[in-house]
């Protein structure tokens, strides 16, 4: 959970997750849908699927006991060198180095290493240094101390060098060069996308939803029909594109209304401007096909059942808007019609990056 996510964010998720899945056997026996629900909100959902798969492998190949050799740990899905060595160092006190965001900054300054840390040469040097300084005993405690010094003292800006117990070993600190070492990261480049969600409900008060496939963002989570309309400019052009996409992908004849609200969000390297459209069915569809467990397959579900699914963050916000804009919708078995509460003047959900 701590990969790509801050500790303060992780703690409540970790506590709930561990309470529900206290050991590999319990996690291995759980349904993937439930695992995703407990993970929803942390992002990088591939981690949840890999964790679930790893628990099953531990149950099948290691009698439910977490392995204690580097090769066996590295063989588990989603575990790379840092995670494997951190586990073996902390849990088994094995003599292994750790390079992560805080220690690599600390080690670069101790080495006076002024090259970009992302390069292959830099990573090789940092890992070599990390391995060389681990003592023979109390290895996990030593690595924890290095991570704490990196986090609390050897900070990216204005490090507390005079409070650092390693200052006499640090040429960067002694020379006052912490502003240039480590070398700054290349600025992250974001790609702007414009996407559209189509909200469709049938006469049985069921909404069309789908589970994202393995090759998509939010693999394994749920979303409403969503399409990339970045290249479309005019509202009429977007509406026509969405109507065609709904026919081709879901076999539905849908009349697209104007966008009723918009929101912004970010996913990895993308900044997304999402518009949400209501769609009126021109013809009632036949019985729903597909299975919710199978990624990509559509399904019609009543509004109350949607809350039990694992949604991506923007999908949750759309779900919240539906509940606020159509408070009686689950009792009303008529197709969606524009109401005063769902016009374009409806207060949009707040911007969130």
Domain 99-187 carries which CATH code?
1.10.1670.10
Q: Using 50, 70 and 90 to split pLDDT, how confident is the model at 312?
A: confident
Query: At 273, is the pLDDT very low, low, confident or very high (cuts 50, 70, 90)?
Result: very high
For 34, half-sphere exposure in the C-beta direction (CA atoms, 13 angstrom radius) is 10
HEC readout, 116-166:
CCCCHHHHHHHHHHHHHHCCCCCHHHHHHHHHHHHHHHCCCCCCCHHHCCC
Pick the CATH number of 191-342 from 1.10.1200.10, 1.10.1370.40, 3.40.50.11060, 3.90.79.10: 3.90.79.10
Distance CA 22, CA 171 (A): 45
Q: Model confidence at 217, in pLDDT bands (50, 70, 90)?
A: confident
For the chain, give every domain's residue range: 1-79, 99-187, 191-342
Rg (CA), the chain: 25
The position carrying tokens 């050897």 is: 154
What pLDDT is recorded for position 290?
41
| For the chain, the helix, strand and coil percentages under 3-state DSSP, each to the nearest 5 | 40, 15, 40
> What average pLDDT does the segment 107-136 reach?
96
What is the three-class DSSP state of 284? coil
pLDDT at 346 over 50: no
Return the pLDDT at 339: 43
Q: How far is CA 235 from CA 19, 196, 275, 293, in A?
A: 48, 11, 11, 35
Average pLDDT over residues 118-135: 96
DSSP string, 77-122: TT--HHHHHHHHHHHH--S-----HHHHHHHHHHHT--S-TTSHHH
Q: Is the pLDDT of residue 285 over 60?
A: yes
Contact between residue 170 and residue 163 where contact means Cβ atoms under 8 Å apart:
no
pLDDT computed for residue 258 by the predictor: 74
Residue 73 has pLDDT above 60, yes or no: yes
296 — pLDDT class (breaks 50, 70, 90): low
> Residue 55: how many CA atoms within 13 Å on its side-chain side?
19
Asked if pLDDT for residue 164 goes beyond 90, the answer is: yes
Tokens 């006469």 belong to: 203
Q: What percent of the chain lies above the pLDDT cut of 90?
A: 63
Residue 4 is predicted with a pLDDT of 76
Fold match between 99-187 and 191-342? no
Asked whether residue 97 carries a pLDDT value surpassing 90, the answer given is: yes
pLDDT band at 23; cut points 50, 70, 90: very high
Specify the DSSP element, H or E, that contains 280. strand 270-281
341: pLDDT strictly greater than 60: no
Instruction: Identify the pLDDT of residue 221.
Output: 85
Domain 1-79 grouped into CATH 3.40.50.300: no
Cβ atoms of 301 and 209 within 8 Å: the answer is yes
Say how far apart CA 73 and CA 92 lie, in whole Å: 12
C-alpha to C-alpha distance for 303 and 202, rounded to whole angstroms: 11
Q: How do beta strands 270-281 and 254-267 pair?
A: antiparallel
Q: Average pLDDT, whole number, for the chain?
A: 87
How many other C-beta atoms can be found within 10 angstroms of the C-beta atom of residue 283? 8
pLDDT above 60: residue 336: no
Task: Report the pLDDT value the prediction gives residue 328, as an integer from 0 to 100.
Answer: 60
Average pLDDT over residues 192-215: 90
Please indicate, yes or no, whether the overall pTM of this predicted structure exceeds 0.75: no
Tell me: pLDDT of 343 over 50.
Answer: no
The answer to whether the CB of 117 falls within 8 A of the CB of 123 is yes
Is the pLDDT at 327 greater than 80? The verdict is no
Rounded CA separation 309/209 (Å): 10
Residue with tokens 């999402």: 274
The pLDDT of residue 235: 80
Is the pLDDT at 347 greater than 50? The verdict is no
Residues 6+ apart with CB under 8 A from 36: 45, 48, 49, 220, 221, 310
The residue that leads in pLDDT, 268 or 176, is 176
Burial state string for 250-272 with b = 16 or more CB within 10 A and e = fewer than 16: bebebebbebbbebebeeeeeeb
Model pLDDT, residue 286:
62
């Amino acid at each position: 959970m701590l990969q790509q996510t801050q500790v303060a964010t992780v703690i409540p998720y970790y506590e709930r997750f561990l309470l529900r899945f206290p050991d590999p056997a319990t996690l291995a026996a759980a349904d993937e849908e439930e695992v995703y629900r407990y993970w929803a909100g942390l992002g990088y959902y591939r981690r949840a699927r890999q964790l679930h798969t790893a628990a099953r492998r531990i149950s099948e190949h290691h009698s439910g006991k977490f392995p204690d050799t580097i090769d066996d740990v590295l063989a588990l899905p989603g575990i790379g060198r840092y995670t494997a060595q951190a586990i073996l160092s902390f849990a088994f006190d094995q003599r292994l180095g750790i390079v992560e965001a805080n220690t690599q900054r600390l080690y670069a300054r101790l080495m006076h290493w002024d090259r970009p840390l992302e390069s292959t040469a830099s990573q090789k040097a940092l890992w070599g240094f990390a391995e060389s300084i681990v003592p023979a005993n109390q290895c996990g405690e030593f690595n924890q101390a290095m991570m704490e010094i990196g986090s609390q003292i050897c900070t990216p800006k204005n490090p507390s060098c005079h409070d650092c117990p390693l200052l006499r070993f640090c040429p960067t600190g002694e020379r006052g060069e912490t502003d240039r070492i480590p070398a700054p990261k290349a600025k992250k480049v974001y790609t702007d996308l414009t996407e559209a969600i189509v909200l469709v409900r049938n006469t049985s008060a069921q909404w069309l939803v789908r589970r994202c496939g393995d090759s998509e963002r939010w693999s394994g989570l749920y979303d409403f029909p969503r399409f990339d309309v970045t290249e479309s400019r005019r509202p009429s052009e977007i509406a026509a594109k969405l109507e065609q996409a709904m026919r081709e992908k879901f076999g539905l004849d849908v009349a697209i209304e104007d966008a009723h609200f918009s929101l912004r969000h970010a996913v990895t390297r993308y900044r997304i401007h999402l518009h949400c459209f209501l769609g009126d069915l021109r013809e009632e569809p036949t019985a729903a096909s597909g299975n919710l467990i199978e990624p990509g397959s559509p399904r019609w579900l009543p509004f109350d059942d949607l809350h039990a699914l694992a949604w991506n963050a923007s999908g949750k916000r759309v779900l919240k808007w539906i509940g606020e804009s159509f408070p009686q919708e689950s009792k009303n078995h008529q197709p969606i019609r524009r109401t005063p509460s769902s016009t374009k003047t409806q207060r949009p959900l707040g911007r969130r990056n």
